[in-house]
């Protein structure tokens, strides 16, 4: 069953950083000041590859926040407020089935 995936970030520039690391060619757009990447996938398994790519980008680029929405679920990555330390995880990721329609706020 096809899966619609939306990746949201604080800015288009941050979305472009993530788009470059996705396993397929993707285009970042700006929507109301937020960065957005919209993708269609064939399966939920493919979606997991996108979540892993967003997580890697989030850590590598020290982004403030990012959210991946798919089906009626979402995965949110947020900086935890401390200085980044490579020995510790750089994010406080959460998973939710709430499916909020508005971009996450920092």
Check pLDDT > 80 for residue 93: no
| Mean local confidence (pLDDT), 65-80 | 90
**pTM, rounded to two decimals:** 0.71
Assign domain 3-96 to a CATH class: alpha beta
Q: Give 97's pLDDT tier (boundaries 50, 70, 90).
A: low
Q: Tell me the Cα Rg of the chain.
A: 13
24 and 7 in contact (C-beta within 8 Å)?
A: no
50 and 18 in contact (C-beta within 8 Å)?
A: no
Cβ neighbour number for residue 67 with a 10 Å cutoff:
21
CA torsion angle 77 85 17 106 (round to 10) = 40
């Amino acid at each position: 069953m096809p899966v619609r995936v939306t990746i949201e970030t604080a800015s288009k520039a941050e979305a472009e950083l993530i788009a470059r690391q996705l396993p397929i060619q993707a285009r970042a757009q700006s929507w109301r000041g937020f960065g957005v990447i919209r993708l269609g996938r064939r399966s939920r398994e493919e979606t997991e590859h996108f979540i892993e790519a967003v997580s890697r980008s989030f850590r590598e680029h020290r982004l403030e926040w990012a959210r991946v929405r798919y089906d009626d679920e979402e995965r949110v990555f947020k900086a935890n407020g401390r200085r980044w330390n490579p020995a510790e995880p750089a994010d406080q990721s959460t998973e939710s089935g709430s499916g909020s329609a508005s971009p996450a706020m920092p």
